[in-house]
Each structure stands twice: as structure tokens, then as C-alpha cells.
Amino acid sequence: MESDKKLAWGLIGASDIASTRMIPAINAQPDSHVVAVMSSNLKRAQKYAVDNNISRAYGSLDDFLNDPEFEVVYISTTNELHLSQTLAAARAGKHVLVEKPLALTYEDALQMIESCKNADVIMGTNHHLRNAITHRKLHDLVADGAIGRPLAARVFHAVYLPPRLQGWRLNKPEAGGGVILDITVHDADTLRFILNDEVEDVIARSTEQGLASSGLEDAVMGVMYFRNGVLAQFHDAFTVAHAGTGLEIHGTEGSLVGESVMTQDPIGRITVKRGSLSEEVKLEAAEDLYIRSVYNFNQAVKGNGQPSATGEDGLKSLAVGLAVLESAKTGHQVKVRHQ
């Protein structure tokens, strides 16, 4: 594909994340724009198109995918729909960026990846956090040995789910609701990225603290054990309104402390601590996480590099989330599945 070609995107799902984050990010690029949206409710798609200045709206997936005017689709429907919609997009020859979690089972996510490979289309997972300058800096510092050998990590990702999002995530198990598939998979992807390592096994305990129903969890704590021996503690919740977020990496020669870094916004700070000394790390200018994600995906479509998070990244982070779900259900330590 010619590197100067402007990419047209179509949206599967008239979602909040698309309107608040992805449409602005796609349209901010000099080489891409959103031209179509599909929803199972045509009237919703039409209103969404008007509200977001999108030229075409569809109520049928087949009609949408038969539109030759766009090459890339972004899928942000509920989780149980990702499999069938990705397979259909691949058959139509469209490149696919899918929201996390990729699917509800490991086998489904693997099928999505293989389908896109067989169709020779690019597939990515929209794990936005690895695009943050804070996390990229943490990755580089760990790789450069700034804190020696990593020993332990802690993730604080307990937040309060905004009322506008308090729907299927809290009451629809069949759609893949619950805090583990919504937030813990982000922790897994972020830690995998920063540590450049894979999770071997997990142990976790979840509960329902007043928001979730129908057997879903709205809070979870646990530990991931990485192959290199790092123990990573995590706390994820939809119910905590006042804690703030953070990520810490502790090593033999120092600690890295990230404050307000587990967020969609380009904010946060990093401090390196060695003994009694504490110094804030200088960061490059902050960049919108979604703009960087779209930029990298556009470049991958044009043959230049890979998406920020590949389909394989999404699969591996989903595998961790599924292991956490099983551990919380059984009370046992659970091995993470790997291909």
C-alpha cells in the first residue's frame, strides 16, 4: 500500500469509547478519517453518525462490510460479538483493530488471529496503556537496568466506573462483563510490556462490592507470577472512587514509582528511588494514547512496523485474565495458557 494514501475507517459499534477517544484520534491523523459506522440498531447508528460527523450509517454488518470506501474497521461492541465481527471483517479484506478483551475464550481469540493472518489483513488489540509516555519510559528504564534485576511489581487500578458505563459491564455475564476482563487484562498487558516477560501463573480473589450483579465481580485482588521470577500484585475495581492509580516496579538496585499512570489520559509522573534518594524522571512531551495507537496501526497497514499491541498481545493478556477468573472462582493457583 502506498505510504501517502489516506486510510478510511469504519466503526463496528456506536460506542462511548469510539466517540470520546477513537473518532478524535483517527480524524487527528493526516492520513486517516472515519467514514462509516454500523450498529445493530440502525436509528442509533444514524443518530451517532450525525452527532459525530460520519457520512454513512448501517444497521447491517453485511451491508457495512460490503462498503468499498473504507479499508480499516475498529470494533468496540460488547465482548461476545468480537469473534464473529472480526471473522466477517477479515473475510471482507478489512484490517481490524479490536477492543480488549479480544474474546471470551482463548480458542476464539486464536481463531480471530489466524483468520486475519489467512486473509492477509493487519489485526491489533486496542490496549491503550502501552502507548503512554510513562509506560514507555518505565519499559526503557527496566530494560536499561536502572533498578537492577526486577523483583516485584504492584498495580493500583481500582477506580469508580462512571455512571454512563454502568451497563453490561455490571450485569451481563454473557457479554463478558466484570472487572477482570475489563481492567485486569490491561494490567497484564502493561506489565508484560514493561517487564518484557510473560505470566506463568496467577492466584486471585474477587468479590461483589455493590455495583455488579448476576454473578459478576466488581473488585479483584491477586498476584501474577512472571517467568523471570517477578511477583506482581494487582488491585482492580469498579467501586473505588478516591484512590488514584499507580504502578510500581521494585528491583535489586532501586524502585520505579508511577503515579496516576493507569488511565486513558496522558498524565502521570515517575519517580526513581534508591535508598533515601528520590528523583523524578524527566519525561518527553505527553502524547494522546489513542492518537499514538491509531498512528502505529495506520503505519502497520501501510507496511511500516506493527500495531502498538498486536493480536498476539491481546491473546496473551486475555489468557492472563481468563486464568485470574478461574483462580477467583476455584480459589486455586492457575497456570496461564500459552500456545
Say yes or no: domain 130-287+319-335 is CATH 3.30.360.10: yes
CA 322: distance to chain centroid? Answer: 15
The domains spanning 7-128+290-308 and 130-287+319-335 adopt the same CATH topology: no
319, three cell numbers? 489468557
34, three cell numbers? 472515519
What CATH number is given for 7-128+290-308 in this structure? 3.40.50.720
pLDDT score for 4: 62
Which residue has cell 469510539? Answer: 18
∠ CA 156-278-276 to the nearest 5 degrees?
110
Cα dihedral sign for 129, 135, 136, 140? negative
Q: How far apart are CA 98 and CA 80, in angstroms?
A: 12
pLDDT score for 1: 44
In this structure, how many other beta carbons lie within 10 angstroms of the beta carbon of residue 268? 22
Amino acid at 118: N
pLDDT score for 339: 78
Q: Where in the chain are the domains?
A: 7-128+290-308, 130-287+319-335
190, three cell numbers? 502493561
Split the chain (339 residues) into runs of 10 and give each run's mean pLDDT: 75 97 97 97 98 98 98 97 98 98 98 98 98 98 98 98 93 96 98 98 98 96 98 98 96 98 97 97 96 98 97 98 98 95
Report phi then psi at 262, rounded to 5.
-95, 70
pLDDT score for 6: 87
